[in-house]
Structure 1
Amino acid sequence: MGGVLVPLLALLVSAAALVNGQAIEDDGRGRDLIGWLGETFKAGENRAQDSRMVVLSWHPRVFLYKGILTHEECDQLMDHSVNRLERSGVSDATTGAGAVSDIRTSSGMFYDRGETELVKRIEKRLAMWTMLPMENGEGIQVLRYEKTQRYDPHHDYFSFEGADDNGGNRMATVLMYLATPEEGGETVFPKVAVPPWQTPDNYSECAMKGMAVKPVKGDAVLFWSIRPDGRFDPGSLHGSCPVIKGVKWSATKWIHVGHYAMSGERSETVKRVQYVPPPPPAVPGCENQHKLCAHWAESGECESNPGYMIGKKGMPGACVLACNRCDVI
Structure 2
Amino acid sequence: MGTQYITPDLQRWIAEQLRAGVGAAQLVQSMVGAGWQQKIALQAVAQAKIDGWFKKSPETPANAGLPDADIADGRTWVQAHDRQVPVIMTMEHPRVIVFGQLLDADECQAIIDAARPRMSRSETVAEEKDGSEVNAARTSRGMFFERGETDVVTRLEQRIAALVNWPIENGEGLQVLNYQPGAEYQPHYDYFDPSHASSAAILRRGGQRVGTFLVYLNTPKRGGATTFPDVKLAVKPVQGQGVFFSYDKPDPSTLSLHGGAPVLEGEKWVATKWLRQGRFV
TM over 0.5: yes
RMSD: 2.8
Counterpart of 1:64? Answer: 98
Corresponding residue of 1:54? 89
**Count of matched residue positions in the alignment of Structure 1 and Structure 2:** 215
Cα distance, 1:35 vs structure 2: 2.5
* CA deviation vs aligned residue, 1:188-244 (integer Å, no higher than 9, x gap): 00111xxxxxxxxxxxxxxxxx211000000000001225xx977541010000000
State the alpha-carbon separation in 1 of the partners of residues 272 and 103 from structure 2. 13
Contact 1:172/1:225 (<8 A) preserved: yes
Partner residue of 1:174 out of 213, 229, 234 = 213
- TM-score of the pair, normalised by structure 1: 0.60
Q: Following the alignment from structure 2 to structure 1, what is the Cα–Cα distance between the partners of residues 204 and 121?
A: 26
**Percent identity over paired residues:** 38
How far did 1:94 drift? 6.9
Larger-gyration structure (1/2) = 1
Contact 1:11 1:131 in 2 (8 A): no
- Counterparts of 2:50 and 2:171, CA distance in 1: 32
Other-structure match for 2:132: 98
Native 8 Å contact 1:34 1:69 kept in 2 = no
2:241 pairs with one of 209, 215, 219: 219
| Aligned mates of 1:166, 1:123 — CA distance in 2 | 19
Q: 1:35 aligns with which of 77, 81, 84?
A: 84
Deviation at 1:59, TM superposition (A): 1.2
Describe the SS at the equivalent of 2:135: coil
The residue identity in structure 1 corresponding to 2:280 is Y
Counterparts of 1:313-328 in structure 2, within 5 Å, are none
Equivalent residue letter for 1:254: W
Alignment CA distance shift 1:133-1:182 (3 Å): same
| SS in structure 1 at match of 2:139 | coil
Give the number of the structure whose residues are more often helix, by fraction. 2
SS of the aligned residue for 1:179 comes to: coil
Alignment-derived partner of residue 120 in structure 2: 86
Deviation track 1:12-32 (CA, whole Å, cap 9, x = no partner) reads 99977655xxxxxxxxx9473
Structure 2 residue runs of 5 or longer lacking an equivalent are 1-18, 27-41, 52-77
Which residue among 132, 145, 152 is the counterpart of 2:166? Answer: 132
Kept in 1, the 8 Å contact 2:80–2:162? The answer is no
Relative to the length of structure 2, the TM-score reads: 0.69
Which residue does the alignment assign to 1:324? none
Task: Kindly indicate whether the alpha-carbon contact (under 8 Å) linking 2:177 and 2:269 is maintained by their aligned counterparts in 1.
Answer: yes
In the other structure, the counterpart of 2:226 is 187
In structure 2, give the amino acid aligned to 1:183: R
Deviation at 1:101, TM superposition (A): 1.4
8 Å Cα contact 1:180-1:217 kept in structure 2: yes
Asked whether 1:242 is paired with 2:262, we answer yes
Distance of 2:265 and 2:280 partners within structure 1: 37
Letter in 2 for 1:166: R
Question: Structure 1 counterpart of 2:89, which letter?
Answer: V
Match of 2:155 among 121, 133, 142: 121
SS at match of 2:238: coil
Measured against aligned partners, the alpha-carbon deviations of 1:40-98 in whole angstroms (never above 9, x if no partner) come to xxxxxxxxxxx43420x211111100111111110110011111111111113575531
**Cross-structure match for 2:178:** 144
SS at match of 2:83: coil
Distance between the aligned counterparts of 1:236 and 1:18, measured in 2?
31
Change (3 A) 1:93 1:239: farther
Q: 1:108 to 1:10 in 2, by over 3 A?
A: farther
**Unaligned stretches of 5+ in structure 1?**
20-28, 37-50, 193-209, 262-329
Matched residue, 1:9: 23
Quickly say closer, same or farther: Cα 1:165–1:94, change in 2 above 3 A.
farther
